[in-house]
A and B are shown apart, each in its own frame.
Chain A
C-alpha cells in the first residue's frame, strides 16, 4: 500500500465540525411493516371501534399529536392513589400515559393563558 502524503484536496475532505453523512442514503427506519392479514376491525372501516372513537374524541378535543421520534423517560414521584387514578383514567379512555399527560399540560396552559 502507498504511504505517500495525500495532495491538498480542498473540497474533497470535510472541515472539522461540518462533517455529515451521505444525504442520499435511505434512513435506518424502513417502511412500516405490512400486516399479513387485515385485522378484523379494519374490515369495516366505516365503523371504527368504540375505543378508537373514544380516542378520536379525546384527541380532537386536544392539540394535534406531535410525532416525536426520540422519546425520553420522565421520572417523578407521586402518591400511589394518584398514580392508580391517572392510569385508570388513561386506560378507560384508551390513552397512553404520555398522551394523557400531554393533554393535561396543554389544557393547563390554555387555562393559564400561556
Chain B
C-alpha cells in the first residue's frame, strides 16, 4: 500500500480538498481500494465523508499513535492507497505522520504568503527523509504569479505539472460529499485531478524503483 501524506504549514492551501479528490481519482484509475485518514482536528475530511453517499473511498479512524499499526493492517487487508490529511501546522505529531509517508504532497497557492511558509514544511519532510512534491493549487488561469510560483517552488523540489485551478466546482462538489469527478466527469477540474493522480503515482513508482536500486 502506498501512503501519501498531504502536509502544509499554511492553512487553506487545499489539503483536505485534494485528499478527497485524489482518493476518488485513485479509485477511478483502478489503483484502489483507497482509504482516507483524517488527522486534522477540524475534521473537514471526516465531515465530507460522513455526508458522502458512495462507499468508496473508505475512511479509517485512528489515533496518531496507532498510525503505523493501522496502516500495516490496512495494507494487509488489501488497500492500495492511503491518503492522509493533516492540519496546517508544524508539530511533532505531523512529523509522526510524515514518517509513515511514501510521498508527501505539499499543496501551495501561488501567493507570497504561501511561498514564504513552504520552507518549514519542506524542512520537516526533509528531516524525516521522505520524498515530496509540490502541487500549485487555487491558481488563477494564465497569471504571471502562477508561473513565478512554479519557478520558485521548482528550486526546492519537484512541482506537479498539473496545476489545480481556482474553480468553484471544487468547493461546490464537496457540499454533499462528492468530488469534481462525480459532478462533471468530463470537466477541466476532473481532468486536473486525474493528471495529478497519474503524476503522484509515477513519483511513487520512481521512488520505489530508486529504493530497490539502492538496496541492490
- On whether the beta carbons of A19 and B40 are closer than 8 Å, the reply is no
- On whether the beta carbons of A22 and B31 are closer than 8 Å, the reply is no
- On whether the beta carbons of A28 and B50 are closer than 8 Å, the reply is no
Question: Cα distance A22–B64 when bound, in Å?
Answer: 6
Which 6 residue pairs are nearest across A and B when measured between Cβ atoms? A19-B46, A13-B58, A6-B33, A9-B77, A6-B78, A22-B39
A14-B58 CB under 8 A given contacts A2-B80, A3-B30, A20-B46: yes
CB 8 Å contact bits of A76-110 with B (1 = contact, 0 = none): 00000000000000000000000000000000000
| CB nearest neighbor in B for A23 | B63
Q: Which of A4, A18, A21, A30 has the most CB of B within 10 A?
A: A21
Give the size range of B's interface with the partner: 35 or more
Question: Cα distance A21–B87 when bound, in Å?
Answer: 10
- On whether the beta carbons of B42 and A21 are closer than 8 Å, the reply is yes
Binds A, one of B88-96, B107-115, B127-135: B88-96
Within 8 A of B (CB), among A45-60: none
Not counting A6-B32, A16-B49, A28-B41, a sample of 10 additional A-B residue pairs whose C-beta atoms are within 8 angstroms of each other reads: A3-B32, A4-B80, A6-B33, A12-B60, A12-B73, A19-B59, A20-B46, A21-B39, A21-B46, A25-B93
Q: Is B165 located at the chain interface by the 8 A CB criterion?
A: no
Give the size range of A's interface with the partner: 20 to 34
- On whether the beta carbons of B39 and A4 are closer than 8 Å, the reply is no
Question: Cα distance A30–B88 when bound, in Å?
Answer: 11
Q: Is A27 located at the chain interface by the 8 A CB criterion?
A: yes
How many A-B residue pairs have C-beta atoms within 8 angstroms? Tell me. Answer: 103
- On whether the beta carbons of A12 and B70 are closer than 8 Å, the reply is yes
- What chain B residues lie within 8 Å of A26 (beta carbons)? 41, 89, 91, 93
- What chain B residues lie within 8 Å of A3 (beta carbons)? 30-32, 80
A28, chain B: closest CB distance, angstroms: 5
| CB nearest neighbor in B for A4 | B78
- On whether the beta carbons of A21 and B45 are closer than 8 Å, the reply is yes
| CB nearest neighbor in B for A2 | B80
Question: Cα distance A19–B39 when bound, in Å?
Answer: 11
Contact residue among B2, B43, B73 (Cβ-Cβ distance under 8 Å from A9)? B73
Within 8 A of A (CB), among B3-60: 11, 30-33, 35, 37-43, 45-46, 49-50, 52, 58-60
Question: Cα distance A1–B60 when bound, in Å?
Answer: 20
Question: Cα distance A18–B63 when bound, in Å?
Answer: 15
Q: Is B65 located at the chain interface by the 8 A CB criterion?
A: yes
A2, chain B: closest CB distance, angstroms: 5
